[in-house]
Amino acid sequence: MKLRLDALIELGFYGLSWPRLKQEEEKISVFLERFHEKEQGFLQLPKVKSALLSSLKLAEKLRGRFEDIVVLGIGGSALGVTCLRDALKGPFWNFKKEGPRLFVLDNLDTVGEVEELLNLDKTLFVVITKSGTTPETMAQYHYFKEKVSKENFIFITDPKEGELRKIGASYDIPMLDIPQNVGGRFSVLTAVGLFPAALLGIDLESLMKGAEDMAHSFQAKDMELNLPFQFATVQYLLDWERGIPMTVMMPYSSRLHTLADWYRQLLAESIGKEGRGLTPITALGVTDQHSQLQLYNEGPTDKLFCFIEVLKQSSPMIPTIENPKLNYLSGHRFDELMATELKGTRQAISEYKKPNLTLEIPEVNAYELGQLFLFFECSIAFLGEYYRINAFDQPGVELSKKLTRQLLS
């Protein structure tokens, strides 16, 4: 994976110079020390093999028994799973006949619609909630509990306490752990993401290897080697020195569209505190060239554009087109057309003096996705130190949960 800042640096006054970025390098050691004092566990996940092994073991035991997998979870218990499926199996995986379908019931208004698609006796329900009191998830669990036997459930929850842990123990339901020092939005490389991915046959070893390699980059004291610090520094300086408080995450790959959704929660819930923060926006190339680019080019200069470019994609060939106004398309693959449109969009945004950078990966595979997950998580750790806030709590979410309980009661 490469982080390309050349378009940002070439903007001059409207961007950031490399010498200005290098001035921040001395903060790396201080920020890392503060991060380690917080004892957050997500950085250790690629090295600790227990979650990987337990997920693989349980998935192997269940393999072939179920036609469908339904994840009951929301937020961090859902977005990472969806991203793993879409990125590594494709956004249309559920239409194929190659393995179990995977549905993620992260919102409440599709419960009945998804149920109609299922043979309930052949469906495995994976219930994910660390506390065991998440209202959406527990409501769904109790709904399906009345329709299938306990053999159709797996719980992923806190290793020691919580309501779901108690229920699992009383009904003898198999359970996997979410480490106590790993928050929900950082949990994609725990059993939360690994177990459903294992059921789909995703290469978890490569996924974790990619994350482990990015963890080494996070620890580097040299700014040129520390990609997460570079990204966080760009976001922070553009906000505080240029008044640019928004980040548009725009992958040019349908398989990575839900990665942008996953990052949206990661950034918003981690950094939006105490009157400060960055606003995440998701876009998809080439789709949103036709729906948002007018605003991006000629609207206010208040956004950083983060393109994700995939160098190797496969797609069919466009046939010969005789129409003289369209024959320039002839003989090109669809992925060539998309790559060219990315170059054109990036150049146009630069000519409009809008700050942008590019995350470049050779292809969408498990290793690169593991790198991307940890890259973004580690960048959040640095942003928390820049803004002097706790990036690992979410007090603004808790009030909504409390009021929901009061209103229903």
Q: Name the nearest CA neighbour of 76 among 35, 125, 123, 137.
A: 137
pLDDT confidence of 405, banded at 50, 70, 90?
confident
Q: How far apart are the first and last CA of the chain?
A: 50
Q: Name the nearest CA neighbour of 254 among 89, 392, 119.
A: 89
pLDDT score, position 219: 97
pLDDT in tens, 32-53: 999 999 999 999 999 998 899 9
pLDDT confidence of 243, banded at 50, 70, 90?
very high
Helix extents (H) in 92-203:
111-116, 135-145, 163-171, 191-199
Q: CB atoms < 10 A from the CB of 208, how many?
A: 24
pTM of the model: 0.96
Q: Name the nearest CA neighbour of 388 among 298, 304, 271, 294.
A: 271
Mean pLDDT of the chain: 96
pLDDT score, position 307: 98
Identify how many contiguous H helices and E strands the chain contains and give both numbers.
16, 10
Compute CA 218 distance to the chain's CA centroid, rounded to the nearest angstrom. 18
pLDDT confidence of 377, banded at 50, 70, 90?
very high
Residue identified by tokens 């970025």 is: 21
pLDDT score, position 272: 97
Helix extents (H) in 272-333:
293-298
pLDDT score, position 194: 98
**Two tokens, residue 311:** 């160098």
pLDDT for 335 beyond 90:
yes
CA 194/CA 204 separation, integer angstroms: 7
pLDDT for 397 beyond 90:
no
pLDDT for 293 beyond 90:
yes
pLDDT in tens, 218-241: 999 999 999 999 999 999 999 999
CA 99/CA 125 separation, integer angstroms: 16
Specify the range with the lowest mean pLDDT, choosing from 106-110, 144-148, 315-319, 396-400: 396-400
Cβ proximity of 74 and 109 under 8 Å? no
Q: What angle do CA 232, 362, 270 make, to 5 degrees?
A: 25
Domains by residue range for the chain, with CATH: 2-36+206-397 (3.40.50.10490), 42-202 (3.40.50.10490)
Instruction: List the catalytic residues.
Output: 269, 290, 401
Using CA atoms, how far residue 370 sits from 88, 337, 366, 382, 389, in Å, is 11, 27, 6, 19, 26
